[in-house]
Amino acid sequence: MAFAITSNAIPLPIAAVPVVEVDAFRRDVLTAIVAGGRLLLLIGLPGDGRATRLLAAIADDARGAIAVCSTDVTDAYPALTPDCPSAHYFEREIAEQYGIEPEGHPWLKPVRFPLGGPTIGEADFYSVAGSEIHEVAVGPVHAGVIEPGHFRFNCHGERVIHLEISLGYQHRGVERALRGGPDRRSLYLAETVAGDTTAGHATAYCQLFEGLAERECSARANALRVIALELERIANHIGDLGALAGDVGFLPAASYCGRLRGDVLNLTAELNGSRLGRGWIRPGGIARDIGSDELRELKRRLSDAGRNMRNAVDLLWKSSSVRARFENTGVLRHEAAADLGIVGPAARASGIDRDTRRDLPAALYRARHPTITVGDNGDVFARALQRWREIEHSLGFLADVLDDPGSGTTASAIPSLAPDAVILSLVEGWRGEIVHLAVTDAAGHFAHYKILDPSFRNWFALAFAMRGQPIMDFPLCNKSFNLSYCGHDL
Amino acid sequence: MAAFASVISPVCALVLGPLLLALINRTKAFVAGRRGPPLLQPYFDIAKYLRRGAVYGDATSWVFRLGPVVNLTVLFAALLIVPWGAIRSPLSFSGDLIVVAGLLAVGRFAIVLAALDTGSSFEGMGASREVHFAALAEPALLLALAVLARVTGALSLTPIYQGITASAWVAALPTLALAAMTLLVLALVENSRIPVDDPTTHLELTMIHEVMVLDHSGPDLGYIHYAAALKLWILGGLLVGLVMPLRSGALWLDGSAMLLGMAILAVVIGMIESAMARYRLVHVPQFIVGAATLSVVGFILILV
């Protein structure tokens, strides 16, 4: 099989990526997936002349390797989706961005909006017919202070037969704006891919940058990045547990968790000046070192916060009325989660043992990573419990990191980037695996930049989890995934 | 004096009704460690809505405008019939308990029609849920009142509530306690409180009552909020009047006891809302039917 093998944040010369015929490409990719690989991404790149280059990356989680191959297509090619369901969303995106038809794709419709086609929100919505069927349309303007997205429920009474999700309202051309970089804006664009995953996307961008320059950060800088990432994970998870409680009207946990999220954000702000960690992580290191007094204080405060979180979350697990709402709601079975190729805590709650920190680690995670556990049921309860376990593991892991934060300079200059290279940078953000891919041109500038927020791969899982559910449980299911709209729309 | 005594009950309801909502909110805020809105907030809100103009959608007709007015009017009418514990109502006639249940149903019917008139799928969904649960809650209310009628041997609310004395409680303790539990559940169900509905949620898909009134604005919304406060007062009054059997005959003493009882009820509802999550919609009917069953058991107990 014709693959170029690389790993997280290791650049490949673009010439080393094999370009094969479409049939061979299709056969190779499917063979690799049958052999236990996982479709990491499948994207289109501008090719030679009229052709579009399809590039597939397949992760071998057991070996920590990423296999890359490509092919040139024009107009149409036989779709991968019928044999590899996790390609379905990627192929829809390729079709809308490059006008190439994946032949045999079971359900080809735009991910955001097609080139020259109708605008956002105007799509050929799937609808169920029948005299007792009704459609409920929600959004893009919502009652709460959340991002815009359109949801269309085909319902029979209170039961949802199918949910259509239509996104794209937050499209702002991030990937296009990153082309031609890196420049002074690039880091800030990466940080704002999804505001709640600032540290995640900033780390992915910096790892990519440093990988292309073939520089490594000091152990100290890597440890501080891990602190930023894990604090972000804890803050978001505890906030979401509170929001889950709020959605079922369970006020005590909702109030306490909301406050505790604020505590963790404030800790982040004390370390770097921004509650979301903006501007902390930089190519070459980190903007601000932490003194040993501060580290000790951080450890103490985290241990306090951990105790408070345990008390607050115990209210959730101990309340039978809450468990009655969480259990068996929005079940995403293991097979469905595996087929859809979803990532992050949502995947682990469905029993998929997958975590970038362990499987495809970079930087500090190569040396050590938190305990990784998986759930089994795939319902709202499993996802909530998974979030809580990850908080606990992150707290324990942070305590270790704070005991031994390494040494070295926290900021180093980065020379120019490798020309004509392709690189994949993966980070386990709080929502799941973040992938940044860059292709550089002869001058070492980004010729192409592709960002995969975990939301991109998980949105469809939400639609899947809603099948047969009471429509009233949608907000609860939605919150248990808590996906990003802007991270999807880019 | 008798004329004065008979207007106390409706006047207290009209003036103090919104205060109950404020007390519930303050209790919830206290449990959550917040300070909570001022006690007069519901009054401020209603005053604000009354000052505003109303917006009517193109799809709506006179049915939509009529809903809030009819709803508020029937609650005014019900206030004339419902006694407040020992304090008699201005109107009392044989069978008036059925008229009260009917008036509440008419108010609900008007709001449901107004919701359906918008043609919005949200409001249709809310109307469907409301009617579904009302079909179960109305028999429960009538059963509870039938138990009280049976215990006191009267067929009009004022004599019924005057008959619920301490000695009546001694004579029919299990029966009255079961009826009181039914009335407590009804106070939660009919006033869209947790665990049945969540009055504070912003999630339209989960709402029952709130989603039906999404399209109302200005004075119409003010009427709806005020009517909700009155409804809570009426159902709360039926419950408190039952569990607080002080019938001293002294107006100030009976009135103060009722006031205190209403305040305690508000705190209890606030505590319930703070202590548990909402039920799934499919479990709500079990909750209401269970409450009705309690009254049935009470009725059987008094028969044997």
Preferred mutation among A251, A308, A480 to probe B, highest tally of B CBs within 10 A: A251
pLDDT tens by residue, B198-252: 888 888 888 888 889 989 999 999 999 999 999 999 999 999 999 999 998 888 9
Query: Are A471 and B124 within 8 A, CB to CB?
Result: no
pLDDT-derived band of residue A90, with 50, 70 and 90 as boundaries? very high
Query: Are B274 and A470 within 8 A, CB to CB?
Result: no
With a cut of 70, say whether residue A101 has pLDDT above it.
yes
Tell me which residue in A135, A248, A252 faces B278 most closely, judged by beta carbons. Answer: A248
The token duo for A348 is 């682990």
Is residue A39 within a helix (H) or strand (E), and if so which, with residue range? strand A38-46
Query: Are A322 and B277 within 8 A, CB to CB?
Result: yes
Q: What is the ipTM of this complex?
A: 0.87
Inform me whether the C-beta atom of residue A141 falls under 8 Å from chain B C-beta atoms. Answer: no
Query: Are A259 and B281 within 8 A, CB to CB?
Result: no
Instruction: Give the pLDDT score at A291.
Output: 85
- CB-side exposure of B220: number of CA atoms within 13 Å? 22
Is residue A346 within a helix (H) or strand (E), and if so which, with residue range? helix A344-349
pLDDT-derived band of residue A145, with 50, 70 and 90 as boundaries? confident
Q: How distant is the Cα of A356 from the closest Cα of chain B, in angstroms?
A: 34
Query: Are B275 and A252 within 8 A, CB to CB?
Result: yes
Query: To the nearest whole percent, how much of chain A has pLDDT over 90?
Result: 60
Tell me which residue in B125, B198, B281 faces A249 most closely, judged by beta carbons. Answer: B198
Query: Are A470 and B281 within 8 A, CB to CB?
Result: yes
**Is the Cα dihedral A184, A187, A192, A195 positive or negative?**
negative
The end-to-end CA distance of chain A, in Å, is: 34
Q: B281: domain range?
A: 2-303
Low-confidence ranges of chain B (pLDDT < 50): none
Query: Which residues of B make CB contacts under 8 Å with A?
Result: 28, 31-34, 121-122, 124-125, 128-129, 194-195, 198, 200-206, 273-283
Query: Are A144 and B205 within 8 A, CB to CB?
Result: no
Question: Which residues lie below 8 Å from residue B220, measured CB to CB, with a gap of 6+?
Answer: B54, B65, B67, B68, B69
pLDDT-derived band of residue A115, with 50, 70 and 90 as boundaries? low
Query: Are B206 and A250 within 8 A, CB to CB?
Result: no
Side-by-side strand order, sheet with A421-429:
A12-13, A421-429, A432-440, A446-452
| Residue with the two structure tokens 């690389």 | A6
Residues of A in contact with B282 (CB under 8 A): 158, 470
Query: Are B28 and A251 within 8 A, CB to CB?
Result: yes
Q: Chain A to chain B, count of Cβ pairs less than 8 Å apart?
A: 82
Q: Which ranges of B82-95 does DSSP label H, i.e. alpha helix? A: none
| Residue A182 preceded by cis peptide, ω within 30 | yes
Average pLDDT, chain A: 90
Query: Are A319 and B277 within 8 A, CB to CB?
Result: yes
Rg (CA), chain A: 22
With a cut of 70, say whether residue A114 has pLDDT above it.
no
Query: Are B278 and A474 within 8 A, CB to CB?
Result: no
Closest CA to A260 of A294, A194, A196, A304: A304
Q: Which residue of A has its CA nearest to B25?
A: A251
Q: Which residue of B has its CA nearest to A137?
A: B121
Residues of B in contact with A144 (CB under 8 A): 202-203
Instruction: Give the pLDDT score at A117.
Output: 64
Tell me which amino acid residue B45 is. Answer: D
pLDDT-derived band of residue A414, with 50, 70 and 90 as boundaries? confident
> How far is A39 from A341, CA to CA, in rounded Å?
7
> How far is B199 from B30, CA to CA, in rounded Å?
17
Question: B98-122 burial string, b = 16+ CB within 10 Å, else e?
Answer: ebbbebbebbbbbbbebbbbbebbb
Total domains in chain B come to 1
Mean pLDDT of A93-107: 89
Instruction: Give the pLDDT score at A264.
Output: 93
Query: Are A248 and B282 within 8 A, CB to CB?
Result: no
Q: Which residue of A has its CA nearest to B120?
A: A136
List the domain boundaries for chain A. Answer: 4-103, 133-166, 181-458+472-477
Instruction: For chain A, give the longest Cα–Cα distance.
Output: 70
Residues of B in contact with A140 (CB under 8 A): none
Mean pLDDT of A131-137: 87
Inform me whether the C-beta atom of residue A158 falls under 8 Å from chain B C-beta atoms. Answer: yes
The domain over range A4-103 is classified in CATH as 3.30.460.80: yes
Q: How far is CA A388 from CA A283, B25, B104, in A?
A: 31, 29, 45
Q: How distant is the Cα of A130 from the closest Cα of chain B, in angstroms?
A: 16
Instruction: Give the pLDDT score at B1.
Output: 56
| Residue with the two structure tokens 């709209």 | A485
**Is the Cα dihedral B32, B37, B39, B41 positive or negative?**
negative
Residues of B in contact with A256 (CB under 8 A): 33
Preferred mutation among B276, B279, B284, B287 to probe A, highest tally of A CBs within 10 A: B276
In chain A, positions 430-489, which contact chain B (CB-CB < 8 Å)? 470-475
Q: What is the DSSP letter of A143?
A: S
pLDDT-derived band of residue A309, with 50, 70 and 90 as boundaries? very high
Residues of A in contact with B33 (CB under 8 A): 255-256, 259
pLDDT tens by residue, A337-361: 999 999 999 999 999 999 999 999 8
- Residue B273 buriedness (CB in 10 A; 0-12 / 13-18 / 19+): buried
Tell me which residue in A256, A319, A472 faces B205 most closely, judged by beta carbons. Answer: A472
Instruction: Give the pLDDT score at B98.
Output: 95
Query: Which value, to the nearest 10 degrees, does the dihedral of the CA atoms of residues A332, A334, A339, A344 take?
Result: 80
Q: Which ranges of chain B does DSSP label H, i.e. alpha helix? A: 2-31, 41-51, 62-81, 96-117, 121-152, 157-163, 166-171, 173-190, 209-212, 218-243, 251-275, 284-303
| Overall fold of domain A181-458+472-477 | Cytochrome-c3 Hydrogenase; chain B (1.10.645)
pLDDT tens by residue, A430-482: 999 999 999 999 998 999 999 999 999 999 999 999 999 999 999 999 999 99
| Residue with the two structure tokens 């345990």 | A310
Residues of B in contact with A134 (CB under 8 A): 121, 124
Query: Are B205 and A254 within 8 A, CB to CB?
Result: no
